[in-house]
């Protein structure tokens, strides 16, 4: 994930920090970032008042006890990932933080309408570039950006997807800027994960704060699996009779818990590639009683691995012949193949323009400000402000081909400037982003930690967003890295009904 690599380098950049007040907030520092609980004058924001009251009355070891109960529950449920060391594989739980992150009804309304608008535009865009290519003829985006993308699937040209919905499940990463506005950091249009943590967190945190939960009017999210099932069913004419399966890479995948969880909660089959076979362009699962036809596949495998005959031939996770069955219209795959072309760094920068182009509306949710070096005005701005910006190569990921201005030497900046000038189309630049902070239970007290927000959008016949999200939290002080592989954890997200 591009952002995390940057964020890692930016760790510790937080401005002058000041403590808030006494226990349990003794180590709570407010910096330049927006804080979810305290306003700039260190007063508790109204929607956090009940949580504040609860924290002030609870004994510190009581919080600790509840935290442990949460962790034990995760361990027993098997919500773990495996860490391999020299001799043994040990299982760790994904750290979960007890304290809910609270989102007001007004904030949520804006997020919800903004996300619906965005997914609508992105689906228009995918339909267009795999169809007539109107947006390219009109010169809104350069052709090379699409046709040159490694995520563009030529094989998808002309394939009719049900309801024209390419992205059926989307997990958009939002962050809150210093001014308090939610902005989109990344659209995850391929196989976004994390929704099982949203639901598992809710389960344990509601048990930890039952009275608070009831008193605050938190909107329920438990219907997510039902909504997902409805969205998948809507992709076939068979509706109730549709035979649906979740396709997982298998038990060694880090998101396996989620795949099994969703299959169980929806009451559908969980299959691996080896369970499926294709005959005469029809997909079957191998059962004890014989072969059973499959109509819809909610796939949790990347495009590249889904069919060794069409994509990567060394893939053993996929199903030979699956793509032809898909093209023939005998099976629906959700998300559609080829959606990755719309969530890369360069296209990201164009999403506000795509919203205006397809919907004739102004974007409700902003992007993180992004300068495209291919545009002369932006290029000169970027070159003049290299020391303040993060510059990234479009085709790279994982922190390669990147300059973090505030951390670079003058010589590095100059060398990088030459690279950008030589190939401006390949570079974009963004200002450094301060994620907002939220109260987090750390070492027996409550401290501020940086968080992001990942709501999940379902899109079949209609668009549905369950009022909740995965809030990821960087557990290390000052760190902006929310990724679970690098010391990140997660929190329950409470969307209030009023």
Partner 1 sequence: MLSRVADSMYWMSRYLERAEHTARLIAVKLESMVEQSREDADSSWSRVVAALSAEDHVPAVPDAFAITQGLAFDRFNPSSLILSLRNARDNARQVREQLSMEVWENLNRLYLRLQPVAMDGVWMHHPARLFRETLQDLHTLGGVTYSTLSHGEGWYFLELGRHIERAQLVSRLLDLHFGAAAAGDAPKYFDWLVLLKFCSAFEPYCKAYTAAIRPEKIAEFLLFDAEFPHSVRFSVDRVCDALLHVAPGAPPNRRAAVERLAGRLKASVDFTQIEDLMRGSIAPFLDDITRQCEQIHEAVYSSYIAYGAETVL
Q: Which helix (H) or strand (E) element contains residue 262?
A: helix 256-266
Instruction: Indicate whether 75 belongs to the interface with partner 1 (CB under 8 A).
Output: yes
DSSP state of 161: P
Q: How far is the CB of 91 from partner 1 (least distance, A)?
A: 9
Give me the least distance between CB of 87 and partner 1, in Å please.
Answer: 10
Using CB under 8 A, which of the segments 113-121, 185-193, 235-243, 251-259 binds partner 1?
251-259
The residue range among 278-286, 346-354, 405-413, 428-436 that interacts with partner 1, by the rule CB under 8 A, is 278-286
Cis ω before 129 (30° cut-off from 0): no
Q: Which is nearer to partner 1, 15 or 78 (CB)?
A: 78
Closest distance between partner 1 and the C-beta of residue 106, in Å?
37
CB atoms within 10 A of CB 385: 14
Alpha carbons 266 and 286: distance in angstroms, whole number: 20
| End-to-end alpha carbon distance in the chain | 34
**Interacting stretch for partner 1, rule CB under 8 A, among 20-28, 112-120, 273-281, 351-359?**
273-281
Q: Following DSSP, what letter does each residue of 287-321 receive, concatenated?
A: ETTEEEE--EEEE-S-HHHH-TTTS-TT-SSS-TT
Given the complex with partner 1, which of 199 and 428 has the nearer CB atom?
199
Q: How far apart are CA 375 and CA 424, in angstroms?
A: 8
On whether the CB atoms of residues 387 and 406 are closer than 8 A, the answer is: yes
Helix (H, G, I), strand (E, B) or coil at 92: strand
Query: Cβ 138 to partner 1, closest distance in Å?
Result: 47
Binding segment (CB under 8 A) for partner 1, from list 205-213, 229-237, 252-260, 332-340: 252-260
Would you call 431 helix, strand, or coil by DSSP?
A: strand
Closest separation between CB of residue 334 and partner 1, Å? 18
Site membership for partner 1, residue 271 (CB under 8 A): yes
**Do you know the residue count of the chain?**
498
Q: Dihedral of the CA atoms 245, 249, 250, 253 (nearest 10)?
A: -130
Work out which of 263, 310, 448, 451 binds partner 1, going by CB under 8 A: 263
* Residue 207 within binding range of partner 1, rule CB under 8 A: no
| Interface size with partner 1, residues (CB under 8 A) | 26
Beta pairing, strands 282-287 & 276-279: antiparallel
Q: Closest approach of Cβ 496 to partner 1, in Å?
A: 29
Q: Does 260 bind partner 1 (CB under 8 A)?
A: yes
Separation of alpha carbons 439 and 415, rounded Å: 41
CB of 250 to partner 1, least distance (A): 8
Binding status of residue 209 toward partner 1 by CB under 8 A: no
266 near 196, Cβ under 8 Å?
no
Residue number, 269 or 375, with CB nearest to partner 1:
269
Cβ closest to partner 1, residue 38 vs residue 257: 257
The β-bridge relationship of strands 463-465 and 456-459 is: antiparallel
Q: Does 328 bind partner 1 (CB under 8 A)?
A: no
Q: How far apart are CA 185 and CA 454, in angstroms?
A: 10
Query: Which residue in the set 18, 76, 154, 410 belongs to the binding site for partner 1 (CB under 8 A)?
Result: 76
Binding to partner 1 (CB under 8 A) within 394-423 occurs at: none
Output the smallest distance, CB 170 to partner 1, in A.
Answer: 23
Bridge partners, 83 (sequence order): 90
- x/- track of binding to partner 1 for residues 279-318 (CB under 8 A): x-----xxxxxxx---------------------------
Q: φ and ψ at 490, to 5 degrees?
A: -140, 165
Strands 389-393 and 402-404: antiparallel
Per CB under 8 A, contacts with partner 1 among 38-57 are none
Instruction: Identify which range of 116-124, 145-153, 211-219, 271-279 contacts partner 1 by CB under 8 A.
Output: 271-279
CB of 125 to partner 1, least distance (A): 35
Q: Are strands 366-367 and 182-188 parallel, antiparallel or unpaired?
A: parallel
Q: Which helix (H) or strand (E) holds 429?
A: strand 427-431
Compare residues 140 and 291 and give the one whose CB is closer to partner 1.
Answer: 291
Q: Of these, 11, 39, 269, 375, which contacts partner 1 (CB under 8 A)?
A: 269
The piece of 52-60, 69-77, 168-176, 460-468 that touches partner 1 (CB under 8 A) is: 69-77
Structure tokens at 467: 């009022």
How far apart are CB 328 and partner 1 at their closest, in Å?
A: 17
* Cα Rg, the chain, nearest whole Å: 23
Which residues contact partner 1 by CB under 8 A?
Answer: 75-78, 251, 256-257, 260-261, 263-264, 269-272, 274-275, 277, 279, 285-291
């Amino acid at each position: 994930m591009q952002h995390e690599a940057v964020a890692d380098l930016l760790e510790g950049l937080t401005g002058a920090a000041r403590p808030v007040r006494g226990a349990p907030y003794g180590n709570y520092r407010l910096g330049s970032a927006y804080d979810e609980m305290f306003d700039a004058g260190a007063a508790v924001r109204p929607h956090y008042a009940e949580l504040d009251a609860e924290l002030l009355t609870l004994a510190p070891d009581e919080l600790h006890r509840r935290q442990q109960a949460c962790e034990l529950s995760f361990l027993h449920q098997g919500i773990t990932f495996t860490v391999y060391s020299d001799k043994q594989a040990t299982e760790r739980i994904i750290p979960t933080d007890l304290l809910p992150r609270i989102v007001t009804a007004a904030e949520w309304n804006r997020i919800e309408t903004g996300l619906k608008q965005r997914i609508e535009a992105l689906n228009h865009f995918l339909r267009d570039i795999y169809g007539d290519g109107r947006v390219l003829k009109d010169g809104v985006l350069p052709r090379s950006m699409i046709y040159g993308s490694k995520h563009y699937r030529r094989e998808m040209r002309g394939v009719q997807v049900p309801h024209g919905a390419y992205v059926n499940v989307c997990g958009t990463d939002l962050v809150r800027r210093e001014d308090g506005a939610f902005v989109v950091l990344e659209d995850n249009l391929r196989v976004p994960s994390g929704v099982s943590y949203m639901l598992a967190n809710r389960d344990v945190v509601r048990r930890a704060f039952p009275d608070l939960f009831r008193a605050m009017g938190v909107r329920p999210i438990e219907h997510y699996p039902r909504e997902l099932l409805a969205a998948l069913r809507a992709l076939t004419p068979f509706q109730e009779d549709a035979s649906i399966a979740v396709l997982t890479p298998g038990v060694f995948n880090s998101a396996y818990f989620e795949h099994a969880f969703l299959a169980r909660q929806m009451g559908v089959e969980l299959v691996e590639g080896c369970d499926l076979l294709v005959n005469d362009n029809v997909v079957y699962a191998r059962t004890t009683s014989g072969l059973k036809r499959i109509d819809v596949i909610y796939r949790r495998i990347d495009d590249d691995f889904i069919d060794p005959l069409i994509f990567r031939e060394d893939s053993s996770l996929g199903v030979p012949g699956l793509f032809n069955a898909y093209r023939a219209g005998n099976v629906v795959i959700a998300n559609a193949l080829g959606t990755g072309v719309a969530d890369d760094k360069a296209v990201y920068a164009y999403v506000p323009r795509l919203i205006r182009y397809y919907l004739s509306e102004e974007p409700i949710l902003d992007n993180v400000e992004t300068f495209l070096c291919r545009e002369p005005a932006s290029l000169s701005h970027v070159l003049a402000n290299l020391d303040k910006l993060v510059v990234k190569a479009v085709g790279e990921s994982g922190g390669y081909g990147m300059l973090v201005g505030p951390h670079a030497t003058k010589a590095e900046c100059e060398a990088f400037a030459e690279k950008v000038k030589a190939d401006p189309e390949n570079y974009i630049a963004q200002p450094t982003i301060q994620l907002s902070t939220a109260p987090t239970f750390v070492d027996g007290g409550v401290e501020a930690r940086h968080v992001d927000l990942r709501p999940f959008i379902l899109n079949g016949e209609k668009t549905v967003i369950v009022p909740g999200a995965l809030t990821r939290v960087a557990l290390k002080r000052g760190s902006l890295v929310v990724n679970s592989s690098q010391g990140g954890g997660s929190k329950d997200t409470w969307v209030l009904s009023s």
